[in-house]
Amino acid sequence: MIKLIAIVAGEPNSINSEIIAKAWKKTSNLSKKKIFIIGNLSLLNNQFKKLKLNMPTVEIKSLHDVMSTKKLNVFNVPLDYKNPFKIKNKSNAKYILKSINIAHEMAYKKKIFGFINCSINKKIVFKSQNIGVTEYLAKKNKLNQTEIMMIYNKKLSVVPITTHINLKKVAGAITKDLIVKKVLALKKGYKALLKTEPKIAILGLNPHNNEFRSSSEEIKKIIPAIKKLKKLKCKVLGPLSADMAFTNNIRKKYNVIIGMYHDQVLVPFKALYGFNAVNITLGLKYPRLSPDHGTGKDLVGKNKADFSSLIMAIKFFEK
């Protein structure tokens, strides 16, 4: 049986339709037999036309219809719109959530192997500023802080302990138990997906680890967590000072660098690897990936978007 992979079209007011079309054309016929899009067929066709992309499509009514290598298979999701690149926020949010929910249900019930979701505008889709697709799917999978947001590259991956929360809340959110729980979930998910145990570097929170002062998060939370993880046979080292962790000599020793907050690890990682990476959620009951970039509002309709991260996500499923 072919392992089907869904690509959720995501935010309509974005570069998503462009990168989907361009990535599909560069995808092998073997993968084309597995791939289908969850999105609005009419909208995609109109966006392809606006972008002057010759992208033939075919609507599929059931997963048994996914087989075309000549046309893009699309599982249609209803959406009312007038301008194909200016969808109103209310319709937009419902459409995106419905598309993600369809993909989740298919994957959760093992009808498909997993899915890739193209970028969304979190501000439009989710009311809470602290939630993104990672947290949303964790809740749908009934997880308790064991979801892992991992930005993956063959040379190095990064994981933030806290994800989409404001910086001023990070220190209070970090606990010894949270670090231990996240690292154990990372170890399990990484090994299951990549068939190897990760070598993990854990960063401190403060500049220069606050010189390991007795009142620091490093002394009170991070070091105790690392000691416990070592007792549990995890290959961890730290806490490393964040300003040195991404230098050549250090980062090459590890598979994964774990930071305490989002930008602590994502900013240096993206400076090093750009779009040569994918966002993987570990801990779910199915593989979920997304391109490692946003909606590209400044590039909408210009036919200049970089589709390499989506290609990388598709190729990841070829393994």
- The answer on 257 and 308 residing in a single domain is no
- The answer on 305 and 277 residing in a single domain is no
Percent of the chain whose predicted confidence (pLDDT) is above 70:
98
- The answer on 272 and 294 residing in a single domain is no
- The answer on 257 and 122 residing in a single domain is no
Does residue 250 surpass a pLDDT of 80? yes
How far is the C-alpha of 180 from the C-alpha of 168, rounded, in Å? 22
Average pLDDT, the chain: 93
Does residue 45 surpass a pLDDT of 60? yes
Confidence of residue 47 (pLDDT cuts 50, 70, 90): very high
- The answer on 127 and 162 residing in a single domain is no
Does residue 63 surpass a pLDDT of 60? yes
Q: What is the pLDDT of residue 130?
A: 73
Q: pLDDT: is 2 or 178 the higher one?
A: 178
Percent of the chain whose predicted confidence (pLDDT) is above 90:
78
Mean pLDDT of 197-215: 95
Domains identified in the chain, total number? 2
Q: What is the pLDDT of residue 73?
A: 95
β-sheet bridge partners, residue 72: 57
Contact call for residues 53 and 21 (beta carbons, < 8 A): yes
- The answer on 270 and 301 residing in a single domain is no
Q: What is the pLDDT of residue 164?
A: 86
For the chain, what percentages of helix, strand and coil (3-state, to nearest 5) are there?
40, 15, 40
Confidence of residue 2 (pLDDT cuts 50, 70, 90): low
Helices (H), the chain: 16-25, 29-32, 41-50, 89-108, 122-125, 133-140, 170-173, 176-194, 217, 223-231, 248-251, 262-273, 308-316
- The answer on 131 and 172 residing in a single domain is no
Domain hosting residue 61, numbered range: 1-141+287-319
Q: What is the CATH number of the domain that holds 188?
A: 3.40.718.10
- The answer on 16 and 101 residing in a single domain is yes
- The answer on 266 and 168 residing in a single domain is yes
Q: What is the pLDDT of residue 319?
A: 67
pLDDT tens profile 85-142 = 888 888 889 999 999 999 999 999 999 999 999 999 988 898 766 788 999 999 999 9
- The answer on 317 and 259 residing in a single domain is no
- The answer on 136 and 1 residing in a single domain is yes
Confidence of residue 179 (pLDDT cuts 50, 70, 90): very high
- The answer on 137 and 1 residing in a single domain is yes
Does residue 1 surpass a pLDDT of 60? no
